[in-house]
Each structure stands twice: as structure tokens, then as C-alpha cells.
Amino acid sequence: MSSLVPQGELRRIMPAEWPHPADFAAPPSAAQRATWAEADLAARPQRLVRLRERMAQEGVDGYFGVRWEHMRYLTGLPFDESEVTGSGDSGKFLVGAEQVWVIADSRYTIAVKHQAPESTLFNADRQLVDSWAGLLATAGVTRVAIEAATIPHLTWERLVAAAPDVELVPIEGWVEAQRQLKEPSELERVAAACAVADRALATLLPSIRPGVTEKELALDLEWRIRTGGADRLAFDVACLAGPDAALPHGAPGMRPLETGTVLLFDFGAQVEGYRSDMTRTLFVGEPRERDLEVYGLVAAAQDVVFDRLWEDMSAATGGGTVPIGRTYDALARSVIEADGRWPVYGHSLGHGIGLATHELPGLGLRSPEEPLPRRTVFSVEPGIYLEDDIGVRIEDLVILDVDAGRVEVVTRFPRDAVVVGI
Amino acid sequence: MSSLVPQGELRRIMPAEWPHPADFAAPPSAAQRATWAEADLAARPQRLVRLRERMAQEGVDGYFGVRWEHMRYLTGLPFDESEVTGSGDSGKFLVGAEQVWVIADSRYTIAVKHQAPESTLFNADRQLVDSWAGLLATAGVTRVAIEAATIPHLTWERLVAAAPDVELVPIEGWVEAQRQLKEPSELERVAAACAVADRALATLLPSIRPGVTEKELALDLEWRIRTGGADRLAFDVACLAGPDAALPHGAPGMRPLETGTVLLFDFGAQVEGYRSDMTRTLFVGEPRERDLEVYGLVAAAQDVVFDRLWEDMSAATGGGTVPIGRTYDALARSVIEADGRWPVYGHSLGHGIGLATHELPGLGLRSPEEPLPRRTVFSVEPGIYLEDDIGVRIEDLVILDVDAGRVEVVTRFPRDAVVVGI
């Protein structure tokens, strides 16, 4: 049985005690990567079985998908956000009773053959709408579910006109719901991505000196992530100093770093398509007492959530119900509100992560009232933002596996008050 | 009057004659960047006048935009592809008779105030659909054009339901059509992005050695672009060696570079939101005669296009008609077909570029039958791809300004046969 990382008193971590890159797992080997590819290959038939069960429940005989995450999950073709612009109809897919067709123009045909070997290539060098009726006839589909939260309205109207006898059923969330329940090899890849990110930040610490800019540090950290085992970033690195850290969506700027303030990094890696997401707020120079108190309160809010997760998991392991995600958000808020000195964060406490950086489950005030999946991974990221002053956020990823009795913080970089730039 | 870069015999450029970084324009200064920001500020009212003229022609009193390029062009808020995932409804915008509203949740309100100062912030911390009727009422809009090729079908249906008395008019291409006619300061930024890319490739040449991988070279070139004056990449660097270069959409791989083959780079920079796009195919080691012949034919196809552009511009300067883009694609193909030894490229000859990497005008076989804009910038990128053997593509950006008598290749890196790795 795994347990939480130890949560002690808030300590200052001076340079002599800084985490060392070797504290974190090494980047995955080629053999490990091959094992994951095999696990995906073995899992895809079952993923399709579950989707077809849903299709049968809802009375459709086809599923037309347009989101790259779903296509990758169900077929193996490794698209991500960077393929959305410019790929045209390539990467859209149709699930029928027996087969899956992946639409691809000539640029992608070799990739489909190699990386989506169980799927059938449907060549669409012209616009998909011209082949739509033929595709549906080939697949024997007469009533097709379509991912309506993503497909453009104009495309929808053109598909309606191209096959007037086929009924289009707007749906959303079917594959999202399935993807939040993670397979063990998916969790391994998220943990591997966490280790790449942890290690990259550890190697960066000596470079954080007064005078360097947010932008230089963001680029430096990105480089360490991408040459340290990541296939890509999960998202653009946020590096925000002092008052900038109070902006929940600031971009790194050209202002030189000053001593006596905080420095917030929010960043993540991708390993074989799976992502990490972490935030650390460091102290540049000797921390101010008030800043340490803000930091301590954010850490306390996170602790309370970790403790409750552990209790709830223990209660649920024997077949009990897992609580809904929004209860943890309410819990973290209550810690900051009870203290009363500073405003509570305006965002959500956390989000699921996997092939996409943000996915189900949601741990926000307005998340659906559904229990957390029994095996999943999500962020816990409370924060306190004092406008024109400072911002503090601490974000860790937690793996929850109720039936294995596991609640594990897989972000391993210390959560103590790390002091840099002195 | 500017003219084309000189097109001579195909020469081999050995290391002693390699282009030097100082051959290319220096990265733009802060003063230059400020000038461009002022030019945008001054241009935006006129951009809106043109959109409102179109709205009046089409009988709508509102325009609801969902594409980040259009929002940036009309309001100044600097979104790009990286904001599409995760920004929710933020960045959508409504143009009314007098005002422009930019929708933003709390993460973006400060950015809207600073960077889109002429627009009105419309706060949407909850879902836009809940405030849709109120927004339209505030704006006095009763018949609204919507970018239907981008807005999701489900969103469309929800907007219909949220304000049943308002008529939604599906449209596409209005702002795209306007954006292809470039302002002088837009062309300056594209040219500045070209210089950043040219210079980055020039600094990379000594690092291209047998044994390094495509992936290492792609990352190395990316770094030189991003630390050499670019705000971002225009798109992921393609670096493809030998047979990989025959894949029009390959991703850089782990195979070590070998001598006696070609190495294709397709890459671009962003400078203040405007982009470059260039392809160079280098020779690793002593070029094979056959490869040089392929290269020479691709270069010849490009030359014929450049020459014809010059003739056509001269004929059009006095008020004549500018030819349609697809005629140049047909012309380039005819050169490769007339030679008869190798297959003609399967993609388009070229595309417009600006805030987006691919935009109007199109120079492809299936591009619309419309004359090129009188002041615009586009790529000219013929190629020859021999499967499992080699690929050669040469891509330059060309500025066309008919009324100024200008046809200028703004990609300055030599187009001769550059030999590396020896």
C-alpha cells in the first residue's frame, strides 16, 4: 500500500538542501516505452467494446469522432493539439459495429498504417463531406452519434445535406467519461511525466538569479524538460515573479527577477502522450514572514485535501462510495476562508489529466455531482492571489486507486519553502 | 522598385561560402516593435469599418467571431493557437454598430484592458450561453453573423435556444477575405520573421554533422529561432533526412544523420504575431548527381513562378488585373511535368501567411478563382518527393505589392545547393 508523501512542518529549503536531479526517477527507457505501446495495443479492443456498449444503449450504430484525444485513445494515431490546425479532416474517425475508420489525406496515410494498425484507413484527399455518404454506406451506419461540442456547425450542416437519410445524433462526453477511469499503464506514463518535470526544475534551481527575466527562465526550464526525457511540453511554461504570480493566466515577461519576492512556475511534460502538470512557488532571497504565512496556508489547504482523500479512499476500498470531486474543492476553500486573512482562489481545486492536460474528473465548485472514478489521476492546486502583490499556488498530481488502496502524490519535488537566488 | 533576388546557375555552396548570420537583418528593436503596435492601433478602426460595410451589405447588425486570428486583428488582444485549448469562451467577440465586446473570464480581464483598449470587456466567468441574450440586448443586435466554420454545433444550438428572437446567420470568410490584403506594417513583420528564421538556419549550419538526429537538429534550430528574435515558433520545426524528406508531413525522428543524402528543414518564426515559413533542402556530404538534378528542377519551377509574377505585376501596375493564384500552381507543375522524370508535388504551390501560418490567398489547384490581392504575401514551395528515397522542397515567401511595383522574395537564405556535414 502506497501512502502520501510525508507532510511535516513548513521548512525552508536552502541551497545546501535543494533537491538533486538524482532524487527523481530517470527518464523512461526505450524498453519501458515499448511496454506502454504494447499495453495500449492490448487495451484498445476493450476501449472500443465499452464505446460500443454505450452506442447500443443510446441506439446508434455509428460514432463519428472529431477530437484528437479520442482518436488517439481508440486508434493509437498520435495526434495532439499541434495537429488540429492544418490537418483538415485527417484524424477524424468513424466507429462502426465491426471496424474503425480513420480519415487521412496523403500526408498521414503512412502514419495511420504504422501507428493505428487495427484501424482502416479512409482516404480523404478531397473534403470529407464529398465522401461522407460513401463512408457511412460502407460502414452500414444509419444513425450516427457525433461529438457536437467540437464539430463546427457548418460541417454539421454539410454532413446533414450530404447524407439526408442518415440521422445525426449530437452527443458529448461519452469518451471523456470513459477516459477518466485510467488503466495502470496510463498512470505510469503520467507519473513518468511528473518525474521528468520534477527533475527539470531541480536542475534549474542554480540558474534562478536576480536579474534574469521570467521569459529567460521559462525558456531555460522548457529546454531542460524537452532534453530531459519529455516528448513535448504539456503546455507553455508559466514563470511569473512577484505581482505577476497573482495573475492566474500571465505570460512570462521581460522584467528582471528581484530578490525578496516569490517566483511561480506552472509547467508539465508529455511522455508517450501522457502529461504532467505541477506548480511550485519559490522564494527569491530571504522570504518575508507574511509571504511564508500565505504559503503555509496554501500548503495547509492542500494537506487537508490529501488527508481527506486518504480517509475517503480507506472507507471506499471495501466497496464503499467514493466522494464527488467538488467536496474536496469546498474543503480546501474552507481552510482558507476559516483563516480569514486572504481571499480564496477563483479557479477550481483541480482537474483530471491524461492525454489532455485538462480532462475529467473535475474538482471545482461547479463540477458535476459524480463520484470520482475508482482509478484516476488529478491535480490538487489551491492558491492565494493578492493583486499587485504576490500569488502563491502549489499544484501536485495525485493518483487515486481505490481498489488497490492507493492515494499517492506523484509530484515529488519538495513542497517546502524552497529559497533560491541567494 | 524592388526586384527579385538574383536567380543564377545552381551553385554548390561549400562551408567557406556559407551564409553568415550577419547577412540577414538583425532582430527588430524595441522601438521597431512599438512602431508596429502603434500602426495596429491606428489601423484597427479602418479594419472595423470594412467589416461593418460587409455587415451592412449582408443585412446583419452584429458579427459574432470565434477565431483568435480575427479577434487579434480587430481588437489587438494577442491570442494564438496556444490559447484555443483552455481559454473557454474568452477571446470570442461581438462587433455591433458602435462597439466591440471581447468576452473574457477573470483570467483575461487585465489583458483585455491593456491590449484591447478600444474594446469593451464583457465578463463571462460563467458560460457565455447564460449571458448571450443579455449581451445581444446590450449591443442592440437582432440578426447576427456567426463564424459557422469554427463555432461548435452544440454551441450554435445553445445560442439559438438562449435568444430565440435573434436570428443567427451562418457565414464564413468575411474577415479572412479582408486579412489577405496586407497593410505595410504587417508585411514588415512577416519580413522580420523571415530574417529571424534565415539567421537561425545560418547559425545552425556548423552543427549539422553525421550522427546527430533529426530530433536534435529540430530542437537546436528551434532554440536559435526563439533566442534569436522570435516571440514564438510559427509551427513545429520539421527536420527530415533522406527518405523522411519524402514524407510531406513527417515528424523529426531519432535516426542518426548519414552522409550522401538530403536534409529538409521546414520552419518559421513569429514576430509580434506575424509569421514566416521557409523550407530549405540541404545536402549532407558530397551531393549525388541525381539529387542535384532533382534540386535543380524544383528550383527551376520556382524561378518560372518568380519570373511570371514579375511580368504579371508589371502588367497590372497600371491598373490591370492580377492573375488568380492557381495559375502559378499550374505553371510550376508544368515545369516538372515537362521534364517528365519525376512526379509532381501533391500539395499546393503556396499559401498566404500573416497572423496565421496558412491563410488566404491560396495558390493551389483547387484554390478559388479569384485574383491575388494587390498587396499580399504568400509562399512559393514546389517540391519533388521520391518515396523511400529523397524529397526536395524549396519554399520562399514573396511580397506582392502591385501598386508599388514590388515583387520581392523576402526569404533571403541562399537557394543554391548548400553542402553541410563535410
Per the CB < 8 A criterion, the answer to whether B178 and B50 are in contact is yes
Inter-chain residue contact A81 with B86, CB threshold 8 Å: no
Banded model confidence at residue B1, pLDDT cuts 50, 70, 90: very low
The answer to whether A263 and A241 have CB atoms below 8 angstroms apart is: yes
Confidence of residue A7 (pLDDT cuts 50, 70, 90): very low
Considering the domain architecture, whether residues B195 and B296 belong to the same structural domain is answered as yes
Are B145 and B243 in a shared domain?
Answer: no
- What is the overall mean pLDDT for chain A? 94
**What is the pLDDT, as a whole number, of residue B60?**
98
- pLDDT > 60? residue B340: yes
User: Tens digits of per-residue pLDDT, A268-293?
Assistant: 999 999 999 999 999 999 999 999 99
Domain of B100: which CATH number? Answer: 3.40.350.10
Q: Are residues B174 and B188 in the same domain?
A: no
Say what the pLDDT of residue B251 is. Answer: 74
Check: CB of residue B234 under 8 Å from CB of residue B225: no
B40: in domain:
no
Averaged pLDDT, A139-143: 97
Report yes or no on B262 lying in a domain.
yes
Q: Which residues of B touch A151 (CB under 8 A)?
A: 152-153
- How distant is the Cα of A117 from the closest Cα of chain B, in angstroms? 18
- CA–CA min distance B81, chain A (Å): 8
When pLDDT is cut at 50, 70 and 90, the band that residue A99 belongs to is very high
Q: Which of A162, A179, A196 is the last residue of a domain?
A: A179
For B231, nearest residue in chain A (alpha carbons): A215
User: For residue range B131-155, what is the model confidence (pLDDT) as tens digits?
Assistant: 999 999 999 999 999 999 999 999 9
Which three cell numbers, joined as nine digits, stand for B141? 443586435
A6: pLDDT strictly greater than 70 = no
Confidence of residue B249 (pLDDT cuts 50, 70, 90): low
Residue B192 has pLDDT above 80, yes or no: yes
- Joined together, the cell numbers standing for residue B104 give 473574457
Does residue A295 have a pLDDT over 50?
yes
**Strand pairing of A62-65 and A12-13?**
unpaired
Q: Is B91 a member of any domain?
A: yes
Structural domains of chain B, count: 2
Last residue of one domain, picked from the residues B121, B147, B179: B179
CB contact under 8 A, A357 and B154: no
What does the pLDDT average to over B245-264?
86
Please report whether residue B52 resides in a domain.
no
Q: Are residues A116 and A165 in the same domain?
A: yes
Secondary structure of residue A332 in the 3-state scheme: helix
The stretch A378-396 carries a mean pLDDT of 96
The shortest C-alpha distance from A149 to chain B (Å) reads 5
Task: Give the whole-angstrom CA distance, residue A372 versus residue A362.
Answer: 9
Concatenating the DSSP letter of every residue in B324-364 gives BTHHHHHHHHHHHHHH-SSPPPSS-SEEE-SSSSSEEEEES
Q: Residue B296 above 70 pLDDT?
A: yes
Q: Would you say B266 and B357 are in contact if contact means Cβ atoms under 8 Å apart? A: no
On whether residue A16 sits in a domain, the answer given is yes
A253 and A345, same domain (yes or no)? yes
Claim to verify: residue A18 and residue A74 sit in the same structural domain: no
- Confidence band of B7 (pLDDT split at 50, 70, 90): very low
pLDDT of A364 > 90? The answer is: yes
B10 vs B350: which has the higher pLDDT: B350
The predicted structure's pLDDT at residue B126: 75
Strand spans (E) along A20-75: 62-65
* Structural domain harbouring B317: 12-28+181-420
CB atoms within 10 A of CB A94: 24
Query: Nearest residue of B to residue A235 by CA position?
Result: B82
Q: Which of A152, A157, A219 sits opposite B152 (nearest CB)?
A: A152
E strand intervals along B151-277 = 167-171, 232-233, 238-241, 261-267, 269-271, 274-275
Does residue B373 sit in the same domain as residue B410?
Answer: yes
**B201 and B163 together in one domain:** no
Q: CA B291, CA B243: separation in Å to the nearest integer?
A: 12
pLDDT of residue B111: 86
A201's CB contacts (< 8 A; 6+ apart) are A221, A224, A265, A267, A278, A280, A413
**Looking at the predicted structure, is the pLDDT value of residue B36 above 50?**
yes
In tens, the pLDDT along B345-357 reads 989 999 999 999 9
Query: Could you give the ipTM of this predicted complex?
Result: 0.92
Given this model, what pLDDT does residue A31 score?
A: 97
Residues B281 and B371 in one domain: yes
Q: What would the mean pLDDT of A156-166 be, rounded to a whole number?
A: 97
What average pLDDT does this structure show over B79-102? 90
Query: What is residue B250's predicted lDDT score, i.e. its pLDDT?
Result: 66
Which residues of A lie inside 8 Å of B (Cβ-Cβ)? Answer: 81-82, 84-86, 106-108, 110-111, 146, 148-157, 170, 172, 219, 223, 226-227, 235-236, 247-249, 346-347, 356-358
Identify which of B81, B148, B154 has the shortest CB distance to residue A148.
B154
**Averaged pLDDT for residues A128-150:** 96
Mean pLDDT of A386-393: 94
What's the average model confidence in pLDDT over B211-225? 96
Are B226 and B150 within one domain? Answer: no
**Smallest Cα–Cα separation from B186: which of B92, B46, B2?**
B46
Identify the bridge partners of residue A350 per DSSP, sorted by sequence position.
A363
Domain boundary among B138, B159, B179: B179
What pLDDT shows up at residue A81? Answer: 84
H helix or E strand, kind and range, residue A263: strand A261-267
B314 grid coordinates: 508589371
Q: What is the pTM of this model?
A: 0.94
**Domain membership flag for residue A300:** yes
Q: B108: distance to nearest CA of chain A, Å?
A: 7
A223-255: pLDDT as tens digits: 999 999 999 999 999 999 999 998 866 677 888
- Reported as type and span, the H/E element at residue A131 is helix A128-139
Q: Do B226 and A248 touch (CB under 8 A)?
A: no
Quote the cell numbers at residue A362: 473535475
A361 prior amide bond cis, ω within 30? yes
Q: Report pLDDT for A1.
A: 29
Interface of B with A (CB under 8 A): 81-82, 84-86, 106-108, 110-111, 146, 148-157, 170, 172, 219, 223, 226-227, 235-236, 247-249, 346, 356-358
How far apart CA A70 and CA A258 sit, in angstroms, is 44
Distance CA B170, CA B153 (A): 11
pLDDT exceeds cutoff 70 at B322: yes
Using a CB-CB cut-off of 8 Å, the residues of chain A touching B174 are: none
Q: Which of A148, A152, A357 sits opposite B148 (nearest CB)?
A: A152
Residues A196 and A120 in one domain: no
pLDDT of residue A84: 78
B186 and B96 fall within a common domain: no
In a domain, A210, yes or no: yes
Q: What pLDDT, on a 0 to 100 scale, did the predictor assign at position B4?
A: 40
The CATH number of residue A416's host domain is 3.90.230.10
Q: What is the mean pLDDT of residues B207-225?
A: 96
In chain B, what percentage of residues exceed pLDDT 70?
97
The residues facing B396 across adjacent strands are: B380
> Are the CB atoms for B132 and B80 separated by under 8 Å?
no
Reported confidence tier of residue A40, pLDDT bands at 50, 70, 90: very high
For residue B46, tell me if it sits in a domain.
no
Q: How many residues does chain B have?
A: 422
Question: How much is the pLDDT for B5?
Answer: 38
Residue pair A151/A171 in contact by the 8 Å Cβ criterion:
no
